[in-house]
Homo-oligomer: A and B are copies of this chain.
Amino acid sequence: MAAVRGPAVLLYLLLFSDYFSNSCATNSDIERDAKAQYTHRIDSLNLLLYTFLLISTVLTIWMFKHRRLRFLHETGLAVIYGLIVGALIRYGGSTTTVSHLNVIPDKGTRYNDSLPPDTVWLRYPYKMSNISAQQPNKMYAYTFRGEIKDVENNEIDLKATFDPEIFFNIILPPIIFHAGYSLKKKYFFRNLGAILMFALIGTTISSFTVGALMYGMVQVIPHLKTSFNFLDSLYFGALISSTDPLTILAIFNDLHVDVNLYALVFGESVLNDAVAIVLSGAIRNYAERYQSGSGSFETDAFFRALGDFIFIFTLSLGIGAVMGCLTAILTKFTRVRDFPLLESALFVLMSYSTFLIAEVADLTGVVAVLFCGICQAHYTYNNLSSDSRTRTKQLFELMNFLAENFIFSYIGVSMFTFPKHHFDPGFIIAGFICAAVGRAANIYPLSFLLNLGRKPKISPNFQHMLFFAGLRGAMSFALAIRNTVSEARQAMLTTTSLIVIFTVIVQGGSTMQLLTWLNIPVGVDDEVELLPYSNSRGEINETASVSGSNSASLTGGKDGGKALLARWWAGLDTKYMKPFLTHSRPTLLETLPVCCNPLARLLTTTEQLTQECGRSRVDSDSELCLEENEMSFTDHRRSSSSQRAVVSITTQPKNQLFQT
């Protein structure tokens, strides 16, 4: 938060100048206490600034919604307010920098050869004129923050003043968990093939395309040529390949755009965040391990980095899934649901511990939390009491809202106040071009490939919409601000910030227009009337609907192998996972072979047995939709339409909407 200290100091002096004059009258002890209090107040003031920014955003966006203005999403507004406040701070207030002192170890002290100490104790000497018996040297404690790699630069290094890791440890986890927890699984699984294709393969293609293109373009700019190596551009490619189509999804929601398009955009953006963070981590590790100094490219090391990527991704996914299932087991086999507060607390604690376990194991907590969220929604949600369902949904919705808007305000404010921006017009233009080309290289070729095997083809207009939905957001910014030691990295941060601001405001603002131009049907509620006979088959039981939806998604898969895998998973899920982890029918007594009956009996609750088959226990997904109905304005109308859409689409696996 140190980036906004300038005005804070000013305000502080205005408000508390009498405090200072008071303290000067007394002895020097107070000044030092005032110092600690001062730091605390400055931090509070900075937080207060962001709190007021968020309050203004909330009130303004309410007015926009009230007047049905849809051209600006709350995140866009947060960015704009952030920019205004940032500019005011930059040009209105005096900028005070954080004071620093160069120190060396005291003579005769033993120290470790390779590792820096956790804390340093500074013996703070007074100048000659002040030395007296009453004022001995004071000791001050300082804690380790990081290495300063850019000693020559006169500016204060960011690492010493503000820790960008706060984004990865506090801001991103609730956003990503919420994305997983609120995933509409039915549509997600229906389009699983396409989503995985875009997210896994597409993001990698995009990263390398952007990386290569960027590297080529930078060679033309003489002053960047030397400082910008290939790994830097790859890192840029990875971070700019994660998308964050909040604005567009909000409009899709309002206008009831086709649920499958919604699922494609949402599913891809959720998963490509995970891919981007792990990919950029692998590139960073690769750079640190094998490329320090030399610019050569080693094939062996490259494959080790690839192995790293797969290893970290899989293990993070595994931890998330295991912890999600563990929560499901805990909520199924205890009757903790009798005490909703305990149940909610358990849910939150288990989800948070997932993040911590992954971080402790040196994996990616954000990815673990994403898959934990998906499992919590898929299994645990079924076991929760209705009170806990509402509470957890509302809690994470609120946390997501606050975290998202905070990060976007911060993007706005930091454009002006962050000391490590480097505005390089050439690099910025190159960045914009590469980001667009990278997105195109993801969507169009893969859509072509998918359409070869996919029955409901992705029409060209839908492809344009997918391309257009590649807004950049929180994840890109967090990855860019994580490391700003070199000029290249600073230029990357500036470019990323500008791309985020541009896409959120301009692309977000023109979505309505584009939907009209591309003739994408809105108001899918009408679909029910188009397919009136579907209601008669609304009473299909869960098993049928799940396997039905899964096999529908298989038609979207490109090759038979993947289809087989997905079908195998759908069978496993319906036959073993759901009966084991939730209260749903069929029970394990029905699905396991007879020899396992004692075990099956143990794992089946009375509640599960006394339940009627079929409608009594509807699918978790449709329940999720029902819950959302009562909960928030974003899902206010969508849920009812999607509910109806569930019915109609399940009976018509070949979704007509893709052939508009």
Contacts and interface: CB of A to CB of B under 8 A. Distances in A.
A452 interface: no
Given A54-B345, A357-B48, A122 B119 contact: no
A145 B151 contact: no
Question: Contact residue range for chain A?
Answer: 35 or more
A45 B122 CA distance: 29
B114 A31 contact: yes
Interface string A125-165: 11100100000001111111111110100001101110001
A170 B288 CA distance: 36
Given A101-B106, A140-B146, 20 more contacts: A29-B288, A29-B292, A35-B144, A45-B360, A51-B353, A54-B345, A54-B349, A99-B118, A100-B118, A101-B111, A102-B120, A103-B122, A104-B125, A119-B156, A121-B151, A140-B144, A141-B145, A141-B160, A341-B398, A345-B401
Contacts of A142: 119-120, 142-145
Contacts of A114: 28, 31-32
Q: Is the interface of A mostly helix, strand, loop or mixed?
A: helix
A395 B345 CA distance: 11
A148 B139 CA distance: 5
Interface in A24-69: 26-33, 35-37, 39-41, 44-45, 47-48, 51-52, 54-55, 58-59, 61-63, 65-66
Interface of A: 15-16, 19, 26-33, 35-37, 39-41, 44-45, 47-48, 51-52, 54-55, 58-59, 61-63, 65-66, 98-106, 109, 111-127, 130, 138-149, 151, 156-157, 159-161, 165, 288-289, 292, 330, 334-336, 338-342, 344-346, 348-350, 352-353, 356-357, 359-362, 387, 390-391, 394-395, 397-398, 401-402, 630-634
B118 A102 contact: no
A634 B109 CA distance: 57
B109 A336 contact: no
A387 B631 contact: yes
B124 A362 contact: no
A99 B143 CA distance: 10
Q: Which of A44, A359, A360 has the most CB of B within 10 A?
A: A360
A499 to B, nearest CB: 27
A141 B61 CA distance: 41
B344 A398 contact: yes
Contact of A123 (B102, B356, B394): B102
Contacts of A35: 115-116, 144
17 contacts: A16-B362, A35-B116, A51-B353, A58-B336, A58-B342, A100-B117, A100-B120, A101-B120, A104-B104, A119-B145, A121-B151, A140-B147, A141-B144, A143-B143, A340-B632, A341-B633, A390-B394
Given A48-B357, A139-B148, A338 B633 contact: yes
A599 to B, nearest CB: 23
Contact of A55 (B61, B101, B105, B353): B353
Contacts of A387: 630-631
A175 to B, nearest CB: 14
B105 A103 contact: yes
B160 A121 contact: yes
A102 B137 CA distance: 13
B119 A139 contact: no
A294 to B, nearest CB: 12
